[in-house]
Amino acid sequence: DAKTTQPPSMDCAEGRAANLPCNHSTISGNEYVYWYRQIHSQGPQYIIHGLKNNETNEMASLIITEDRKSSTLILPHATLRDTAVYYCIVPYNQGGKLIFGQGTELSVKP
Amino acid sequence: EAQVTQNPRYLITVTGKKLTVTCSQNMNHEYMSWYRQDPGLGLRQIYYSMNVEVTDKGDVPEGYKVSRKEKRNFPLILESPSPNQTSLYFCASSSGGRDTGELFFGEGSRLTVL
């Protein structure tokens, strides 16, 4: 399984960009990178995913390095409501086994 | 409205009393899975199902059973609950295949075993 490594916590000032890194050095060629966030004890919410090109949607941007061994989730203008735990996952070979890890706890401060 | 529904949302039970946490999705999704979340341990996968009658173990299957007799439902069964199964449980579904990772989660079921 492609494992992911994320810093346990990060701070960001309100209105600034939040850049959340994720290492997935064992990722294979056809495995996607997915990002989720979880606010308090609510069900995690899907944010974005990508294979090799950069992706952007209304919530965030995803930058994947050329060697695909790491990625960065960018929240361009963080708000207090973006305070959450962010998870980066790589489903193994499009299979069903998913490893979430402990994620990054992002604190957006005024 | 597209949703994953779990029941019960909260439950306090006693050791050894069999219980079932139900999960239902209305999106015709092929893939469904169960997770438990404990402080400091993040989300850990218990079981998953790629389709009807197809289930497989995740990282922490011990003490749990599942079944997938129909597409929309994926119940989690605790035959003989123990206090170490006190946790917050989430069910999730996705369309599967290349989109397995695009999960929709339920609101969670908080289980306490005394």
Tell me the per-residue pLDDT of B2-58, one tens digit each, with 9 for 90 and over.
899 999 999 999 999 999 999 999 999 999 999 999 988 889 999 999 999 999 999
Does the pLDDT value for residue A2 go beyond 70?
no
Cα–Cα distance list, A100 to A15, A90, B40, B73 (Å): 28, 8, 12, 23
Q: Evaluate if residue A1 carries a pLDDT over 60.
A: no
Nearest residue of chain A to residue B51 (CA atoms): A96
Q: Take residue A89 and report the two structure tokens written for it.
A: 């996952």
- Number of alpha carbons in the 13 Å side-chain half-sphere of residue A65: 12
Q: What is the maximum span of chain A, computed from C-alpha positions, in angstroms?
A: 41
Omega within 30 of 0 (cis) for the link into B61: no
Confidence label for B89 from pLDDT (cuts 50, 70 and 90) = very high
A100 contact residues in B (CB cutoff 8 A) = 35, 42-45
Please answer yes or no on whether B41 and A102 come within 8 Å at the CB atom.
yes
Task: Kindly report the nearest CA distance between residue A54 and chain B, in angstroms.
Answer: 17
Q: How far, CA to CA in Å, does A47 sit from each of A56, B46, B98, B101?
A: 10, 23, 16, 11
Predicted confidence (pLDDT) at residue B88 exceeds the cutoff of 90: yes
What the block records as the tokens of A62 is 């995803």
Q: Report helix, strand or coil for A76.
A: coil
The pLDDT tens digits for A42-83 are 999 999 999 988 999 999 999 999 999 999 999 999 999 999
